[in-house]
Chain A
Amino acid sequence: MDCERGRARPHAPYGLLLLDVQQAARVKDGPVRRRTAPSRIPVLPLALALLLLLLLSLVGGVGLGAAGVGRGEVARFLWAGLSGGTVHAADAASYTIVWEVRLPRVLLGAVVGAGLAAVGVAVQAMVRNALADPFVLGISSGAAVGANAVILLGAFAGLGVWALSASAFASALAAMTLVHAVARSPHGLTPLRLVLTGTALAYGFEAVTTVMVFGAARGEAARSAMMWLLGSLGGATWAQLPFAAATVAAGWAWLYGRAGALDALAMGDETASALGVRPARLRRELFLLTAAVTGTVVAVSGAIGFVGLMVPHVVRMLVGADHRRVLTVAPLAGAVLLVWADVLSRLLFAPAELPVGVITAVVGVPAFLLLMRRGGGYAFGGR
């Protein structure tokens, strides 16, 4: 076997007899099975099923709400809205609820859920730590500072209706840059430093928000700032949808196109280099993308936690770690999860609304713990 390539062995005196031990090695490796193979669900059927579920959820989300609008009416209003038809003057109030309040809200929920899930995947690959998400890196808290500056202090008033989005986006970028700058060391940007820096700065950003809330004279403003910190889709309008949807879609497409590079990055920086990926540059690009998508999402929904952390975990348990598969399924799962979380946040204490982040945590934590106990072949954080 050593001579297969016709290689002469000029240093025969040092040679060892290899064959016996080699055979021994193979035999020893053979029957030992330490862990069962991770079970994998085929991606395409799962994605199609989730897509169908998402469509049903959108319709369900529009149909369910505090103000009782009959199922037939909801269908009629939706059809009227889609086809440009007319509704009776008597139905105007109900129509407005369905078409102008619930529908954009449900659609925005789907967009935000998909965006958070995709960005969660990106961050976890970026810092090579399955316990990271935009919130861990402080980007969400940073964006929330910007949003609250607009709401409470009237910052960036010159930007008009775009003030909120622009401010959240800009402060997400600023938070990202700060985390990046502080986490940098002469040896580059290590995952551990990023996570630690992000977590520390997140507390700082939250403190800033809290000071702003307590500094504000208006009670209602403080309450709405809390909604921003915990997340809410209550302010959804049609005007917010195109920009948010386009950003999330573009971010997802960018990630999907680099699924292979994300796989390599997940194996380690050195391995990524050896596979022709430039880890430092990819990580910088991921940081920017994360800030852009997170800023956009926080601008329309506040800092909704847990989706970006939970969804990628669950999806990996179902379809494995391959990023092409994960990125196919995770946004759909995130969208479905958030649509239903929002429905619950509207219904549980109707007519009062819970912050949707409370629901995602209450629903997600037990499910997460359960899956963690069952999750056969899935390794957390590789340890």
Chain B
Amino acid sequence: MRLDIEDVTLEVAGTRLVEHIDLTVGSGAFAGLVGPNGSGKSTLLRALYRALRPAGGVVRLDGDDLHAMDARAAARKLAALPQESSAEFDFTAAEVVAMGRLPHRGRTAASDREIVAGAMERTGVVHLADRGFLGLSGGEKQRVLIARALAQQPGVLVLDEPTNHLDVAHQLDVLSLVRDSGPTVLAALHDLNLAAAHCDVLYVLDSGRIVAHGPPHDVLQPPLLAQVFGVRAHPVRHPVTGAVQLLFDLLPPTT
């Protein structure tokens, strides 16, 4: 499913946080959204899972206006992993995954069970089914939440910093899981090397505007990184794999 964000502007409590965003993710592609803290990544994603209504512009899924849809119909097409993952009540992992079936109508308990089981199998969390969600490790939680999103059977999957608080192994694990999961993906990511390794296309957000987009190696050039993130980037080849990695240090103060 194709995701088009057309000239979207977002306001929270009268403050304009994100302006005139144009962003397109082709069907089945993995797009990354990068930018410094406070650049508006989460705000933009909130508009996609309808926690926020755009003050201007349109979000389209295969051409259909997302915000004109019924809430449940939208949730059948677009699933999300918001950053909050604090449940107040201790649902089991299986119950959390089953919540992904909520937007679907005309479902039966048997078909739900099958889809939930399938989603848990794909994310490798079957053995956690009866464990309390709150007692899981960070990596396990993310896998369970991804299973919930997959149980929604969405065409588009939106992730807000899915690798936050995860160790390096789990970061890679979660991203390749998402990459192989099927839907079109738009993910806000902090780690630029991680984003470069996993994304087909990157959008760079700065102060609420898209300042660059394209294939990662075209976008992540030292001048742009200096301008947006305020760091000096040094591309370096990995001594073993030969992959290009970015190393960073602070820009010298300019006066």
| Chain A interface residues (CB < 8 Å from chain B) | 1-2, 4-5, 7, 10-18, 21-22, 24-26, 28-29, 32, 34-35, 37-38, 40, 128-130, 186-187, 260-261, 263-264, 266-271, 273-278, 316, 320-322, 377-379, 381-382
A346 CA to B140 CA in the complex, in Å?
A: 53
B62 within 8 A of A: no
Interface centre among B84, B88, B173, B200 (most CB of A within 10 A): B88
Asked whether A21 lies within 8 Å of B76 as measured between CB atoms, the reply is no
Q: A37-B132, A322-B95 are in contact. List 4 more A-B contacts (CB 8 A).
A: A18-B176, A40-B130, A187-B13, A274-B158
CB nearest neighbor in B for A279: B51
Q: Which of B67-75, B205-213, B221-229 contacts A (4 or more CB under 8 A)?
A: B67-75
- What is the distance, in angstroms, from A289's C-beta to the closest C-beta of chain B? 19
Whether the Cβ atoms of B197 and A38 lie closer than 8 Å is no
Is the CB–CB distance between A268 and B241 below 8 Å?
no
Q: Is the CB of B193 within 8 A of A267?
A: no
Interface size class of B (residues with CB under 8 A): 35 or more
Q: In the complex where A16-B197, A270-B51, A275-B102 touch, is A38 in contact with B90 (Cβ < 8 A)?
A: yes
Tally the A-B contacts, defined by beta carbons under 8 Å: 186
Please list 7 pairs of residues, one from A and one from B, whose beta carbons are closer than 8 Å in the complex, sorted by A's number. Answer: A10-B200, A14-B193, A186-B14, A187-B13, A266-B88, A270-B80, A273-B82
Hey, which chain A residues are within 8 Å of B172, CB to CB? 16, 18, 21-22, 25
Within 8 Å by CB of B102, from A260, A321, A382, lies A260
Is the Cβ of B88 less than 8 Å from the Cβ of A275? no
- Tell me if B82 and A381 are in contact (CB < 8 A): no
B137 to A, closest residue via Cβ:
A29
Task: With A22-B173, A264-B99 as known contacts, state yes or no: A38 contacts B132, CB within 8 Å.
Answer: yes
Question: Is there contact, CB below 8 Å, between B102 and A261?
Answer: yes
Chain B hits for A276, CB < 8 A: 71-76, 102-103
- Report the bound CA distance from A335 to B242 in whole Å: 70
Query: Whole-angstrom distance from the CB of B185 to the nearest CB of chain A?
Result: 11
Q: Which of B14, B75, B79, B124 has the most CB of A within 10 A?
A: B75
List A contacts of B243 (CB < 8 A).
Answer: 12-16
* Chain A residues near B245 (CB-CB < 8 A): 14
Bound complex: CA of A270 vs CA of B145, how far in Å?
13
Contact: B86 with A382, CB < 8 Å?
yes
Query: At the interface, yes or no: B250 with Cβ under 8 Å from chain A?
Result: no
| 8 A Cβ contacts from B109-149 to A | 124, 130-132, 134-137, 139-140
A186: chain B residues at CB < 8 Å are 13-14
